Amino acid sequence: MPSTPSTPSGTLVRAFLDEGAVRLILVEAAALAEHTRIVHGLGPDAARLGAEALVAAALNAAHIKGEEKITLQLQGEHPRCSVYADVSTEGSLRARITPADLRLEAGRLRGVLVAVKSLGSRELYRGITSVADATIEEALSLHLETSSQVDDVLRIGVRQAEGGRVVQAGGLLLERLPEEPDHPSLDRDIFDARYGWVRGAEISQLLTQLAFGSLGDHPIHLLEHRALSWQCGCSRERLEATLIGLGAEALREMGSEDHGAEVQCNFCNQIYRFDEAELLSLAEACR
């Protein structure tokens, strides 16, 4: 769905460096991250974590095609928290972070990162990475290192104003492409020599350089400029299917005792109301 003036938007850029030997993926998602903070009433630490998760998911969007979707889930053990972000090929993103008053120490946590690529209800890939006192940037870097066959450099940066308001959220992913006949390539040592410095550079400086068409001394060749938008996939039809899954007896009970039901989406907070007649009709559909 195209972005409208009222729809928070961002940008995903795909480009090449070194005549096609290195792929660059660049994401700007400040408005998307700020919208997530507002929708879920997030405190500063939860807002930062949500912004990092949105950028991380978007950086992976360049690796999907057709109607595929990338989902990142982070289950924190210390502190206890849950982070969920997904993105479609069209660039639609959404995120959920709980609890809203999450407190982190230097942005670090311990838990498990799960990355899933899916097509409709069919799961195409699932990768699980242990997170030990790490940031999302470090956790995703470890995941890419263990799951892919290419060398990469990942950076994610978030800047906040008073009250946790997100004023900058972006990131980049550099990938050394596999060596192929008749295709420009770099060996690992040269890749590290040319781009290893990116790991320790200020993310804001990197984003500024890229805005002017270069990374260090290396010009970039733009391939694609794609819009990102905050969009929830909830609908009345999907919730009807969920309610049918509760079974006829439960639906009749809600209809006769509560005279209706109210369901709120966990992502966009949209409220869907079903009256008694609708619940009884759904109960009949269970047969």
Domain of 256: which CATH number?
3.90.1280.10
Q: What is the pLDDT of residue 31?
A: 95
- pTM, two decimals, is 0.86
Domain that holds residue 86: 9-230
| 104 and 139 share one domain | yes
Q: What is the pLDDT of residue 3?
A: 40
Number of domains in the chain: 2
| 64 and 151 share one domain | yes
For residue 127, what are the β-bridge partners? 115
Lowest mean pLDDT segment, chosen from 24-28, 88-92, 167-171: 88-92
| 22 and 113 share one domain | yes
| 49 and 85 share one domain | yes
| 128 and 24 share one domain | yes
Residue 34 buriedness (CB in 10 A; 0-12 / 13-18 / 19+): buried
Q: Residues 210-239: what's their mean pLDDT?
A: 88
| 188 and 209 share one domain | yes
| 72 and 169 share one domain | yes
Q: Residues 106-118: what's their mean pLDDT?
A: 90
What tens digit of pLDDT does each residue of 38-97 get? 999 999 999 999 999 999 999 988 778 888 999 999 999 999 999 999 999 888 999 999
Q: What is the pLDDT of residue 145?
A: 78
- How far is the CA of 101 from the CAs of 33, 47, 234, 236, in angstroms? 16, 9, 25, 30
